[in-house]
Amino acid sequence: MKNLKKVLALLLAAMMVMGLLSACTKTEEPAAEPTQEASQEETKEESKAEESKAEESKAEESKEEESKEEAPADTSVTPRNETFYLTTGQWGTIINNNGFSSSSNNTFCGNNSFTACELQFETLYMFNLLKGSGDPLLADGDPEFDADNNMTIHLKPAAAWSDGTPLTAEDVKATFDTHILVNSNAGVAYAPYMASCDVVDEHTVVFHPTDNVNVPQMMNYINGMYVFQKAYLDAKLAEYGTDYEGFKNDLMYDAPHSGPYDLTINNAQAVGVTRRDTYWGQDASMWGKLPAPKYIVHNIYADNNAQANALRVGESDMGQTYIANVQTMWLDDGLPISTYYPEAPYHVAVSQPTCIFNTTVEGLDQVAVRKAIAMAVDYDQILSAAMTNQAPPFSQYPRMLFQPNDQIRATYVKDAAALAALDWPGNDPEGAMALLDEAGVVDTDGDGWREWPAGNNLSFQASCPTGWSDWQASMTQVSEAGAKIGIQIETYFPESAQWSENLRTGNFTITMNSYGGGPSDPWNSFYAVFYNYHSADNYDPAYLPEITLGYSRYQGEYTQRANELLDLAAKTTDIATLQDYYQELNEIYLSEVPSFALMYRPQLFHEVNESVWTNFPAEGDGISPMCCIFAQGVAALYQLELVGE
């Protein structure tokens, strides 16, 4: 169907290309570092004196340019047939290029997670969400673990910095040590699990775990953390001394980087990068060539609707915005627009937006009540109303704490039939009421509402942030499910900040959050559901766990066993052993129902306009649909082609 759509759109695409190839993006050329001022056109009123002054300074500027190691690329004009436009969520000018910053908004410097952008700075591995593991980038081969979970990583000898110097094991060690030293967010997150990084030789490092061994967290690090140059870090640390906050706030626009692009555009209209033709990845040990687009530009739009419209008219080649009923753009409008799958669910689902119970609340401390609510919810209606069917149904991927991914489930599921026996189809109010009747949760006073204990109507509040329309639609379905089985559930949609605070402090009865995805999955999903729980008599509001869905305050004997299994699973890489642990954890999840997934959801939406560029990631080609710049999705840049070529 996708190929047919491309054929039908070819004439339209060709016509659009003729007009678009002559279009240009007006940007500004940074001097010492990208400017944050808006680019403005010259006016007719500019004086001849100003022009003369500019002419007189050309010779002096030329001398200055000659003294520089490499002049910035001329990005005042980027031809349309060399420029790849995308929209991923950059809403303003970039405030820094610092991978140690806790406040950076830089799409092209990422956020030190498995969605790291691989255009400027690079990670050891680039996460492939189709496999659930990382593909080597700076690294050469897979990580190697010994019996004590020391992790050895080899580097590609060809890897090099933008200043022409080799990228070595010393750079990897210096990056790790600096995160710990300056107490960056990453340093805080990984210090409990990773004790040190040692250099074995020029191209080999070993990461040593702490006594609190956690292999999934170590995998997060090597897939998410950019490698910085040791010489540059040493110079910056010498400049700032013990002023680590100053170091973390440094702009770092001049930092050498190993990726294929330089940051060259940064203003109120757009941010963007220019291809560096000396990129080491042309080596046969990596890509063997340069990426196709010379320029990659993210225009700044006011909101999601503006981004979606840019995709519609061909101003953007790649979009990451939820578009309701996206298929109408090609089926009804005949536009040359594609998604990863040509038919529903259109995108690769990864995360699981989830309904969370506070099990210390009277009534919700009863498993029959929790499971009855879950059984009565109409999941097909959620999928239709909240996602316009842009995710797979539970009938295709039965409920468990694994992504809806065939490869991941084939790897980790030990006994699918045993888990299926514990699952529920949804939209089953009759079965839910029978379960409640059997448990003695009944209506004793005839007012239509069940009670627990007798005399206390079951009445709860289902919350999520206002404006999050798909989540609000989900919580509405939870409310309606309660009404069908005699349980009062009122929806409550506070501002995001209030919802977040309530989640953090456990001030809720029923709420919603999401989890799933990343190199530490599936362990991370189980951790998010079960770990750092707060029993009724052991609640510390000042304690913030590293990863959690919030203070669900689970209680019961099953929580202790779940935590034991999580600790065991964090210390092994043996698949057969992990299958045993995850099987039992899934059985606890489906039996006790401390929470339950409401739907699956894409990690990133994936919509492309093929009027200029084509050959985007699609089902079967092995490239992750990650906006062509994040993690392993960057592989798409090496296969993109101009339409008609």
Spatial neighbors of 306 by CB under 8 A, at least 6 apart, are: none
Rounded to an integer, the average pLDDT of 595-611 is 95
Same domain, 552 and 588: yes
Q: Using an 8 Å Cβ cutoff, are 396 and 403 in contact?
A: no
> Residue 507: its pLDDT value, please?
85
Distance CA 174, CA 230 (A): 5
Q: What is the pLDDT of residues 465-505, one digit of tens each?
A: 999 989 999 999 999 999 999 999 999 999 999 998 888 77
Same domain, 376 and 409: yes
Same domain, 576 and 593: yes
> By mean pLDDT, which of 46-50, 233-237, 361-365, 507-511 is the weakest?
46-50
Distance CA 588, CA 510 (A): 19
Same domain, 333 and 444: no
Question: What tokens were used for 514?
Answer: 């999401």
For residue 122, being part of any structural domain is answered with no
Spatial neighbors of 52 by CB under 8 A, at least 6 apart, are: none
Same domain, 409 and 336: no
Question: What tokens were used for 80?
Answer: 């349309």
Same domain, 465 and 527: yes
Q: What is the pLDDT of residues 25-39, one digit of tens each?
A: 333 333 233 322 223
Q: What is the pLDDT of residues 617-636, one digit of tens each?
A: 999 999 999 999 999 999 99
Residue 145 pairs with which residues in a beta bridge?
A: 151
Rounded to an integer, the average pLDDT of 171-200 is 96
Rounded to an integer, the average pLDDT of 255-267 is 96
Whole-angstrom CA distances from 68 to 7, 63, 86, 91 are 49, 9, 31, 32
> Residue 483: its pLDDT value, please?
98
Rounded to an integer, the average pLDDT of 378-388 is 95
199 compared with 644, residue with greater pLDDT? 199
Same domain, 534 and 610: no
Rounded to an integer, the average pLDDT of 30-51 is 31
Distance CA 137, CA 126 (A): 6
- With a cut of 80, say whether residue 126 has pLDDT above it: yes
CATH number at residue 24: 3.40.190.10
- Alpha carbon of residue 256 to chain centroid: 25
> By mean pLDDT, which of 50-54, 279-283, 357-361, 502-506 is the weakest?
50-54
- With a cut of 80, say whether residue 324 has pLDDT above it: yes
Same domain, 492 and 536: yes
- With a cut of 80, say whether residue 546 has pLDDT above it: no
132 compared with 67, residue with greater pLDDT? 132
Rounded to an integer, the average pLDDT of 393-420 is 95
For residue 385, being part of any structural domain is answered with yes
Same domain, 462 and 525: yes
Nearest to 39 by CA among 24, 51, 53: 24
> Residue 160: its pLDDT value, please?
98
For residue 161, being part of any structural domain is answered with no
**Residues of the chain above pLDDT 70, percent:** 84
Q: What is the pLDDT of residues 217-247, one digit of tens each?
A: 999 999 999 999 999 999 999 999 999 999 9
Same domain, 555 and 454: yes
For residue 456, being part of any structural domain is answered with yes
> Residue 624: its pLDDT value, please?
95
Distance CA 308, CA 602 (A): 17
Q: Which helix (H) or strand (E) holds 601?
A: strand 601-602
- With a cut of 80, say whether residue 73 has pLDDT above it: no
For residue 255, being part of any structural domain is answered with no
Domain count for the chain, please give it: 2
What range does the domain containing 589 cover?
349-602
Same domain, 534 and 587: yes
Q: Using an 8 Å Cβ cutoff, are 502 and 541 in contact?
A: no
Rounded to an integer, the average pLDDT of 87-102 is 91
Rounded to an integer, the average pLDDT of 304-316 is 94
Distance CA 480, CA 562 (A): 31
When pLDDT is cut at 50, 70 and 90, the band that residue 178 belongs to is very high
> Residue 283: its pLDDT value, please?
98
**Following DSSP, what letter does each residue of 485-497 receive, concatenated?**
TT-EEEEE---HH
Question: What tokens were used for 90?
Answer: 């950059």
What is this structure's pTM?
0.84
> Residue 61: its pLDDT value, please?
40
Same domain, 408 and 265: no
Residue 381 burial class via C-beta count within 10 angstroms: exposed 0-12, middle 13-18, buried 19 and up? middle
CATH number at residue 431: 3.10.105.10
> Residue 542: its pLDDT value, please?
42
Residue with tokens 């379905």: 477
> Residue 531: its pLDDT value, please?
66
> Residue 559: its pLDDT value, please?
74
When pLDDT is cut at 50, 70 and 90, the band that residue 12 belongs to is very low
> Residue 85: its pLDDT value, please?
97
Residue with tokens 């605070």: 501
When pLDDT is cut at 50, 70 and 90, the band that residue 124 belongs to is very high
- What is the greatest pairwise CA distance in the chain? 93
> Residue 555: its pLDDT value, please?
53
Please report the sign of the dihedral spanned by the C-alpha atoms of residue 444, residue 446, residue 450, residue 451: negative
Interstrand relation of 83-87 and 295-299 (parallel, antiparallel or unpaired): parallel
Question: What tokens were used for 231?
Answer: 């010489």
Residue 597 pairs with which residues in a beta bridge?
A: 354
Q: Where are the strands (E) in 361-487, listed by range?
A: 459-463
Distance CA 36, CA 266 (A): 6
> Residue 561: its pLDDT value, please?
83
> Residue 65: its pLDDT value, please?
37
- For the chain, the average pLDDT equals 85
For residue 205, being part of any structural domain is answered with no
Ranges 12-21, 99-108, 442-451, 516-525, most confident: 442-451
Q: At what angle do helices 523-530 and 557-569 cross, to 10 degrees?
A: 150
> Residue 54: its pLDDT value, please?
38
> Residue 535: its pLDDT value, please?
44
For residue 516, being part of any structural domain is answered with yes
Residue with tokens 């739009």: 301
For residue 585, being part of any structural domain is answered with yes
